[in-house]
Structure 1
């Protein structure tokens, strides 16, 4: 998780409130995370980077499925909570996804980027780094705010096709968290993925799970009938060359 301006997206300030809100809720625990794990499939024996791991619930799930997982996040407080969950054996590091990654080329078989890219104005440098640390043929599994959802939050007349910031206040158990995301249209997402050397193998808009419907019968209908998040599975191909950009 990253911050684009002072006071916005300050997860250090509300890490515990965020953890309490998302640990077992509908949207994160019983919709988004199951959808990412479904895309990931059988991960036993795979080296996985959880990019923007937060408090580590997805890291833990991947580890429990037999993967060797490394978690990175820009928030030290979120990682402190992840450490409590995961123990000392999991490699956790404070890393901002806008910076070069402290890993060797081809260090991972998969990268998961769960609800993190929409914090970034410019995806290209981050995707270049994620491509670099992936083995050839490795996968990037990413979930982002659905562009129809962010467009619905926009002021009347806002340009759907423009990459632009949008802000809101998130009430987390009485803590007012100021959030700032970046809206981008679907074509801008797919273009930057392919420009970074990824091949798109799946785009999904999943329905809530049966467990979600059972646990949250009064809330699930809205999630089942309107866009919320968009999920991508991408395969790392050859790195783009200078000639590719000319």
Structure 2
């Protein structure tokens, strides 16, 4: 059972309109994806489906996987019974044939994994040669600075766990992020057969300043997330 199963409905509602997802990460990911008309896309770690919905509205043919059955249930309620949604773990074989997709989008999911190797190998397998992998992850410096401010002394150059507790609705989500340095990310991409097309550190949407003044002020001047566009060689 995923940590998100018990709070799936509340988490889905929050994700729809909050600062980090609605005003920051999701718009940046969609901008990097660009024109997706007719493209076959896997939303890897689809959650309750907001990115899936946005891609489909832009003309893409979308499939979604998530390790949380509760989140997939929320996605199906949103997207309809005919949406291609499956419960699957990125660290395990994916239920798709080789070269099935033009793009895979992994939105804020890889930082839950200690070892990126198996997940990236599966993503490469289901991508056609020349296809794109679009990734967003917690920014390595953001995680490092938060640990230091909390009194920890992590080694930036190591890969280390960072537990977190988030209040969501009437419940709490307990998760573990795996912080890693930039070079560990790029090495993992190269080892899996990907070439970096771009690395991006976009700011949140301008309207976030008025919608979420407290969070905007707290995070202003430093990126929370790091984005990659990679090509499958």
TM bucket normalised to smaller: over 0.9
Q: Does 1:232 align with 2:225?
A: no
Consecutive unaligned residues in structure 1, runs of 5 or more: 4-8, 238-246
CA distance in 2, matches of 1:213, 1:42: 27
Contact 2:163 2:177 survives alignment (8 Å): yes
Deviations 1:63-115, CA, capped at 9 Å, x for gaps: 00000000000111101100011002210000011101111111000000000
Task: Give 1:222 shift.
Answer: 3.0
Q: Does 1:205 align with 2:198?
A: no
TM-score under structure 2 normalisation? 0.94
Q: Does 1:18 align with 2:14?
A: no
CA distance in 2, matches of 1:235, 1:18: 32
CA distance in 2, matches of 1:140, 1:224: 28
Deviations 1:15-68, CA, capped at 9 Å, x for gaps: 112112211011111110000000000000000000000000000000000000
CA RMSD of aligned residues (A): 1.4
Find the counterpart in structure 2 of residue 157 from structure 1.
153
Q: Does 1:216 align with 2:212?
A: yes
Q: Does 1:145 align with 2:123?
A: no
Find the counterpart in structure 2 of residue 167 from structure 1.
163
Range that drifts further, 63-72 or 207-216:
207-216
Q: Does 1:65 align with 2:61?
A: no
1:91-130 correspondence runs (5 A) = 91-130=84-123
Task: Give 1:214 shift.
Answer: 4.1
1:49 aligned residue (25, 38, 42): 42
Deviations 1:100-158, CA, capped at 9 Å, x for gaps: 11111110000000000000010011101101110111000010011111112325321
CA distance in 2, matches of 1:117, 1:55: 17
TM-score under structure 1 normalisation? 0.90
CA distance in 1, matches of 2:91, 2:73: 21
1:74 aligned residue (57, 67, 72): 67
CA distance in 2, matches of 1:224, 1:35: 16
CA distance in 2, matches of 1:66, 1:211: 26
Matched residue of 2:93: which SS?
coil
CA distance in 1, matches of 2:177, 2:205: 26
CA distance in 2, matches of 1:62, 1:211: 22
Task: Give 1:225 shift.
Answer: 1.1
CA distance in 1, matches of 2:6, 2:138: 22
